Amino acid sequence: MNQVRLGIIGIGNMGTSHCMCISNGEVPDMVLTAVADLKESRREWARANLRADVKICSNAEELLDSGAVDAVLIATPHYEHPGLAVEAFRRGIHVMCEKPAGVYTKQVREMNAEAKKHCDVVFGMMFNQRTDPVYRKMKELVAGGAYGQIKRVNWIVTDWYRSQAYYDSGDWRATWEGEGGGVLLNQCPHNMDLLQWICGMPSRVLAFCHEGKWHDIEVEDDVTAYLEYPNGATGIFVTSTGDAPGTNRFEVDLEKAKIVCEDGKLAVYEMEVNEREFCFSTKEGFRKPDGKWIPMETGQDNPQHAGVLRAFAGAILRGEPLVAAGEEGIRGLTLSNAMHLSSWLKRPVEIPFDEELFLEELNRKRSCSRRKENVREMTFNTEGSYGS
């Protein structure tokens, strides 16, 4: 195999972007050979804009059974991701899944279990923010251990502004039945992933998810969450699609440093001694540990989606590492599920949480979703099947 033959399932906004990325040669080890979409209008777009030899399918099954692909990129509505991935695994087809991995951890855990049965199949997640050199440097600094343990995490990411027109652009958007959540499921899967990738998983969450606070929608558009970590560290995560211009500031306080990421820049306040040591050794009640701000060089290479796909092709062809393994998608989803469940129950939630209880609460929301009648959904059950 000289090139990976890629099929894209779902050619909406993201799927179209991926089509053009491959067609423009941004991933030399990959060639687009098939696409699938339920909407005739999107298939018409494909006929008008893609090469004549790209197979255009009316549904996922047709693409998966076509023999035209070695790998698929799943870019459909969220509920469909796990079921489509499972069907690809069972056909020996490699999978790249758009974020989020799914809507609820129970279905994603089943997807991961199926992936393990097919060790010859490469499974990746489209966590393109992991290619950002700023976040990669943050992870390196935190994981390196030179600055000691994390004491506090604060991430205010309210620059996800969306207007009502955005939410009105599709029947599946911002509904429990169509999308499975709001800002946490649509805009913030990258933030959820980066938060756990850099800082690790919290053990307890208390969240307040305000539904339809700033828009005429049924899902959350404003979230404030308190996090507790196994080592005693605490954190605050704040996000919204209703703030303008919004803020994106990510702070990590460690025993010997403070790391701040804002406006695409990274700075570190490095202390001369560990604060925990200083606290109990100094005789001065008001003095802080000496230190200084250090601007961090992070590099400029930030390949984003193309970088994730290049790594995916490299993993298939040459056994090279992925940007993010598919099985890791459950971690960020665990965070968002825990936040939702905490808000619904109006109490703190331990991680791991009761997945059956979460699904019960989610299905209660779905049962009265106001746009349910306009949404076509493919569901994933415990046997891994999917259907209309």
Please spell the DSSP secondary structure of 121-150, one letter per residue.
S-EEE--GGGG-HHHHHHHHHHHH-TT-SE
Q: How far apart are CA 69 and CA 49, in angstroms?
A: 19
Question: What's residue 378's pLDDT?
Answer: 38
Please write the tens of the pLDDT for every residue from 328-370: 999 999 999 999 999 999 999 999 999 999 999 999 999 999 8
Most confident of 34-48, 160-174, 294-308: 34-48
What is the enclosing helix (H) or strand (E) of 229? none
Please write the tens of the pLDDT for every residue from 50-96: 999 999 999 999 999 999 999 999 999 999 999 999 999 999 999 99
Please write the tens of the pLDDT for every residue from 119-173: 999 999 999 999 999 999 999 999 999 999 999 999 999 999 999 999 998 888 9
Average pLDDT, the chain: 94
The pTM assigned to this predicted structure is 0.94
Where do we find the tokens 């491959």?
22
- Could you tell me which residues are beta bridge partners of residue 238? 156, 224
- Report whether 124 contacts 322 (CB < 8 A): yes
Count CA within 13 A, CB hemisphere, residue 185: 27
Question: What's residue 300's pLDDT?
Answer: 85
Q: Which domains does the chain have, with CATH numbers?
A: 4-129+304-325 (3.40.50.720), 132-302+326-388 (3.30.360.10)
Whats the size of the chain, residue-wise? Answer: 388
Classify strands 248-254 and 220-228 as parallel, antiparallel or unpaired: unpaired
| Token pair recorded at residue 288 | 């802080």
Tell me: pLDDT of 2 over 90.
yes
Range with the poorest average pLDDT among 51-65, 213-227, 265-279, 360-374 = 360-374
Please write the tens of the pLDDT for every residue from 370-382: 864 444 433 333 2
